[in-house]
A and B are shown apart, each in its own frame.
Chain A
Amino acid sequence: MVEPDPSRRSFLRQGVTAVAGLTAFAAALQPLTQLDLDDLPTLEAHLQKHYKEMSPAEMEAALERIRAEVAKRYGLEAHVRDIKPLDGVEFVYALNLSRCVGCRLCVHACVAENNQSRDPEIQYIRVLEMPRGTLDIEQGNHLYDHPTVPDAAHFYMPVQCHQCSNPPCVKVCPVEATWQEPDGLTVIDYDWCIGCRYCEAACPYFARRFNYADPHIQPEDVNPEMAYLSNRPRSQGVMEKCTFCLHRTRQGRMPACLEACPVGARKFGNILDPESEVAWILRTKRVFVLKEDVGTLPRFFYYFDERYPREAGDDLPPPPVDAPHAEPPR
Chain B
Amino acid sequence: MKAYLTFVWRCVRVSFVGDWRYHAWMLALTVLALLGLNAYCQQLVHGLAVTGMSDQVSWGLYIANFTFLVGMASSAVMLVIPVYIYRNRELHHLVIFAQLLAVAAIVMCLLFVTVDLGRPDRFHHLMLRFNFPISMLSWDVVALNGYLLLNMHICGYLIYCAYRRREPARVFYIPFVFTAIVWAVSIQAVEAFLFVGLGGRPFWNSAIIAPRFMASAFAAGPAFMMLTLAVVDRFTSYPVPRQALLTLRNIVTVALAVNMFLLVAEVFTELYAGTTHAASLRYLLFGLHGHDALVPWIWTAMGRNSLALAWLGMPDSGRRPALLYTACGLLIAGIWIEKGMGLIIPGFIPSPLGEIVEYTPTRNEVLVTLGIWAAGLMIFTILVRITIPVLSGRLTIDTRYHRGRLPQPGKGPVATAARPTTPAIAREESP
Interface residues of A (CB under 8 A from B): 6-7, 10, 21, 24-25, 27-32, 34-35, 41, 46, 50, 120, 126, 128, 136-140, 142, 159, 168, 171-177, 192-198, 200-206, 208-214, 235-239, 291, 294-296
Q: Smallest CB-CB separation from A179: which chain B residue?
A: B131
The reply to whether A24 and B34 form a contact with Cβ atoms under 8 Å apart is yes
Closest-CB distance, A202 to chain B (whole angstroms):
5
Is A200 in contact with B58, judged by CB distance below 8 angstroms? yes
Shortest Cβ distance from B48 into chain A, in angstroms? 5
A-B contact pairs, 28 of them (CB 8 A): A10-B404, A24-B30, A27-B34, A27-B38, A28-B34, A28-B41, A30-B41, A46-B122, A172-B137, A174-B135, A174-B141, A176-B129, A176-B131, A192-B125, A192-B129, A194-B122, A195-B48, A195-B119, A196-B137, A200-B58, A204-B352, A206-B56, A206-B352, A206-B355, A208-B55, A237-B48, A237-B117, A294-B199
Q: A30-B41, A139-B354, A206-B55 are in contact. Are A194 and B123 (CB under 8 A)?
A: yes
Question: Closest approach, in angstroms, between the C-beta of A270 and any C-beta of chain B?
Answer: 28
- The A/B interface has a contact count, at CB < 8 Å, of 185
B100 at interface (Cβ–Cβ under 8 A)?
no
Contact of B44 among A31, A142, A296 (CB under 8 A): A31
Let me know if B199 and A192 touch, CB within 8 A: no
Using known A-B contacts A50-B128, A138-B279, determine if residue A192 contacts B404 with beta carbons closer than 8 Å: no
Contacts of B134 in A (CB 8 A): 171
Task: Give, as a whole number of angstroms, the nearest-CB distance from B29 to chain A.
Answer: 13
Complex CA–CA separation, A294 to B277 (angstroms)? 12
In the complex, chain B residues whose CB is within 8 Å of the CB of A209: 55
**Contact indicator A196/B56 (Cβ below 8 Å):** no
Closest chain A CB from B367 CB (angstroms): 11
Residue in A34, A208, A295 whose beta carbon sits within 8 Å of that of B45 in the complex: A34
Closest B residue, CB atoms, query A192: B125
Report how far A27 CA is from B31 CA in the complex, Å.
Answer: 12
Q: A7-B403, A34-B45 are in contact. Are A174 and B126 (CB under 8 A)?
A: yes
B121 within 8 A of A: yes
Closest 8 CB pairs of A and B: A195-B118, A204-B200, A237-B118, A138-B354, A213-B49, A31-B41, A174-B137, A212-B49
Closest A residue to B118 using CB positions: A195
Interface presence of B300 (CB below 8 A) = no
Q: How far is the CB of A143 from chain B (nearest CB, A)?
A: 9
In angstroms, how far is the closest chain A Cβ from the Cβ of B346?
13
* B348 in contact (CB, < 8 A): yes
Chain A residues, Cβ within 8 Å of B117: 194-196, 237
A95 to chain B, nearest CB (A): 15
Is A236 within 8 A of B47, CB to CB?
yes
Contact indicator per residue, chain B 254-280, by CB within 8 Å of chain A (1) or not (0): 000000000000000000000010010
Q: Which of these, B45, B276, B354, contacts A31 with CB under 8 Å?
A: B45
CB proximity of A124 to chain B, nearest CB, Å:
11
**B 96-129 binary contact with A (CB < 8 Å = 1; else 0):** 0000000000000000010011111111011011
- Say how far A189's CB is from chain B's closest CB, in angstroms: 10
In whole angstroms, how far apart are the Cα atoms of A10 and B13 in the complex? 14
Shortest C-beta distance, B136 to chain A (Å), equals 7
Given contacts A46-B121, A174-B131, A192-B129, contact A202 B137 (CB under 8 A): no
Question: Complex formed: what's the CA distance from A194 to B135 in Å?
Answer: 14
Say whether A192 contacts B198, CB under 8 Å.
no
Closest chain B residue, CB of each to CB of A31: B41
A237 to chain B, nearest CB (A): 3
Asked if B35 lies at the interface with its beta carbon under 8 angstroms from chain A, I say yes
Q: Does B306 sit within 8 A of A, measured CB to CB?
A: no
Checking A29, A138, A198, A206 against B135 with a beta-carbon cut-off of 8 angstroms, the contacting residue is: A198
Enumerate chain B residues within 8 angstroms of A25, measured Cβ to Cβ: 34, 37
**Residues on the B chain within 8 Å of A139, using CB:** 354
Question: Are B59's CB and A201's CB within 8 A?
Answer: yes
| Nearest-Cβ distance from residue B138 to partner chain A, whole angstroms | 5
What A residues does B47 contact at CB under 8 A?
A: 211-214, 236-237
12 extra interchain contacts, Cβ-Cβ under 8 A, other than A198-B135, A198-B137?
A: A6-B404, A29-B41, A142-B354, A142-B355, A168-B198, A171-B134, A172-B136, A174-B138, A194-B126, A201-B58, A206-B352, A209-B55
Q: Which residues of A contact B31 (CB under 8 A)?
A: 24
Closest residue of chain A to B48 (Cβ to Cβ) is A212
Closest to A213 in B: B49
Indicate if B250 sits at the interface (CB-CB under 8 A). Answer: no
Count residues of chain B with CB under 8 A from any CB of chain A: 60
Shortest distance between the CB of A148 and any CB in chain B (Å): 23
Q: Is the CB of B135 within 8 A of A172?
A: yes
- Give the distance to chain A from B402, nearest Cβ to Cβ, in Å: 10
Chain A residues, CB < 8 A from B48: 195, 210, 212-213, 237
Q: Tell me the smallest distance from the CB of B67 to a CB of chain A, in Å.
A: 13
Inter-chain CA distance A29–B44, complex, in Å, is 11
1/0 per residue B194-208: CB within 8 Å of A? 100111110000000
The answer to whether A174 touches B130 (Cβ under 8 A) is yes
Residues in B with CB closer than 8 Å to A21 are 30
Q: Tell me the complex Cα distance, A208–B37, Å.
A: 30
The answer to the question of B69 belonging to the interface, with a C-beta cut-off of 8 Å to chain A, is no
A6 CA to B405 CA, complexed, in Å: 12
Query: Are A175 and B118 closer than 8 Å at their CB atoms?
Result: no
B126 touches A140 (CB 8 A): no
Which residues from B are CB-within-8-Å of A238?
118-119
A203 vs B353: C-alpha distance when bound (angstroms): 10
Bound-state Cα–Cα, A136 to B153, Å: 54
B184 at the interface (CB under 8 A from A): no
Q: Which residues of chain A are within 8 angstroms of B113 by Cβ–Cβ distance?
A: 196
Q: How far is the CB of A67 from chain B (nearest CB, A)?
A: 22
Q: B residues within 8 A CB of A196? A: 113, 116-118, 137
The answer, yes or no, to whether B229 is at the interface (CB within 8 Å) is no
CB-CB < 8 A to B355: which residues of A? 142, 206
- Contacting residues, chain A, for B129 (C-beta < 8 A): 50, 175-177, 192
B53 interface residue (CB < 8 Å to A): yes
B71 within 8 A of A: no
B351 at the A/B interface (Cβ < 8 Å)?
A: yes
Tell me, yes or no, whether B54 is within 8 Å of chain A by CB.
yes
* B170 at the A interface (CB under 8 A): no
Asked whether, in the complex, the Cβ of B137 is within 8 Å of the Cβ of A210, the reply is no
Who on chain A is nearest to B201 by CB?
A201
Q: A120-B49, A201-B59 are in contact. Are A140 and B353 (CB under 8 A)?
A: yes
**Cα-based distance from A203 to B352 in the complex (angstroms):** 8
> CB within 8 Å of A: which of B1-44?
30-31, 34-35, 37-38, 41-42, 44
